[in-house]
Amino acid sequence: MRQRKIIPGVDPRLLIKDAAALMPEASRRGFLRGAASLGALTFLTGCDIIDGDTAEGVLRKISAFNDGAQAALFSRSKLAPTYPESAITRPFPFNAYYDEDEAPEVDGGTYKLEVAGLVDNKKPWTLEQLHALPEVSQITRHVCVEGWSAIGSWQGTPLSEFLTRIGADTRAKYVWFKCAEGYSNTIDMPTALHPQTQMTFKYDHKILPRAYGFPMKIRMPTKLGFKNPKYVVAMEVTNTDRGGYWEDQGYNWFSGL
Amino acid sequence: MSAETAVGGSQIAAREAIHPAWVRVTHWINAIAILVMIGSGWQIYDAAPLFEGLRFGKSISLGNWLAGALLWHFAAMWVLAINGLVYVTLGIVSGRFRRKLLPISPAQVLADAKAALSFKLSHEDISRYNAVQKLLYAGVILTGIVIVLSGLAIWKPVQLQELTVLFGGYDVARYVHFFAMAAIVGFLVVHVALALLVPKSLRAMITGR
């Protein structure tokens, strides 16, 4: 009972099921089906606005507008709240669109982080080289798009520091991340340069376990959980929005906190 | 001279109408926006329920899955917030809130509640609210402000973290947002039932008279 109180709204047994609930319906056509099912809204069913593609188009346009609104609200100097060690949620939940035993197993020995796009030095990085980078630590709140949240402890190097080292053109608009399991997402450059945006190699001062994204995740306490990629194998500095796994399915692109 | 006459004329017209045009327009825009917010909010709730055993289900919620519900919620929020801001501003500036909703005396609320429950409350003059109505209308306006602010606190716990702290933190703000929704749904049940029981009040909100 007390366990449940620690993360309001999270039943640990349901986490996997919750992740499954994030998944799109088998029939993507049904995106907005049931849209008018709220009794009092049925009078709208005659309108185009509530029907499938038109409504989805309008809603996605508003979502794009919301990206702009959130970017305008975003401040690079506004830090996410940090917490004491005692506030860490234990165990920190595993969350993905697959079961924990299906999480990618990356071989740290042969791992190389590929760097591409608008950067001076495209030399790939071994894990040993990455681990030698200066280390910072943060205890911040991970907020899931589903609503639940959990506080975790992450260590790694600021992404802005790494971008400087590889001679990235920080006037570019985006940084794109590719992950071992095929996941990907694109973030805005201001977030990439935020002081708390971290290339994470450790969780709670121990090498990142497989469940939390070994060998590297990108921790952004200013973005919803799904915008924090795990098992990152490549990054690209680019002016092209390359979308992302959930974003392409209708989740808001900016997803800032 | 003619301007004065025009102002005087419109004041008389406004006095004649039970609900001026701005009240009726914002009322119905709000009605649609709040239904979209509640319907999509229920679907979002189901992704990480706050209470064991409480799920709303797809048949009564909006958006079909979490991403769809979020798209609806974050679209309708603009309509709800902007329309609400116009309504509250005009309600204060025009003096309507003060005239119609104040003062609210607890003794009068009790007396009117008793009268209402024994069906002795008069609905002769629907331009004057009884004490129970005053309390409910003032209460739902305040709840509307709380639901918008707690929603912002959940949506932006970093950029608007001071607001989130005001609500007792991210997790508590979720509960505040939920209970504000529950209060509004409770209000809606009573409000719609009474509007149907006293049809001329519904007519007044459509035609103004």
User: Residue A142's domain is classified under what CATH number?
Assistant: 3.90.420.10
Residue B158: band (very low, low, confident or very high) from pLDDT cuts 50, 70, 90: very high
Quote the minimal CA–CA distance from B12 to chain A in Å. 35
In a domain, A42, yes or no: no
Test B59 with A146 for CB contact under 8 angstroms.
no
Tokens linked to A229: 């990629």
Q: Which CATH number belongs to the domain containing residue B162 in this structure? A: 1.20.950.20
Residue A39: band (very low, low, confident or very high) from pLDDT cuts 50, 70, 90: very low
Residue B27 has pLDDT above 90, yes or no: yes
Identify which of A256, A245, A255, A254 has the alpha carbon closest to the alpha carbon of residue A24.
A245
Residue B94 has pLDDT above 50, yes or no: yes
In a domain, A112, yes or no: yes
Q: Give how many domains chain B has, as a whole number.
A: 1
pLDDT of residue A47: 43
Identify which of A148, A158, A176 has the alpha carbon closest to the alpha carbon of residue A247.
A176
ipTM, two decimals: 0.86
> CA-CA distance, A253 to A243, in Å (whole number)?
8
pLDDT of residue B206: 94
Give the domain extent around A186: 74-249
Test A78 with B61 for CB contact under 8 angstroms.
no
Test B45 with A21 for CB contact under 8 angstroms.
no
pLDDT of residue B16: 64
In a domain, A19, yes or no: no
Query: Which chain A residue is nearest to residue B75, measuring alpha carbons?
Result: A62
pLDDT of residue A52: 62
Residue A20 has pLDDT above 80, yes or no: no
Q: Across the interface, which of B66, B75, B170 has its CB nearest the CB of A22?
A: B66
pLDDT of residue A15: 41
Give the domain extent around B71: 2-207
Q: Give how many domains chain A has, as a whole number.
A: 1
Select the more confidently predicted residue: A97 or A216.
Answer: A216
For Cα atoms A153, A156, A159, give the angle at the middle one, nearest 5 degrees: 120
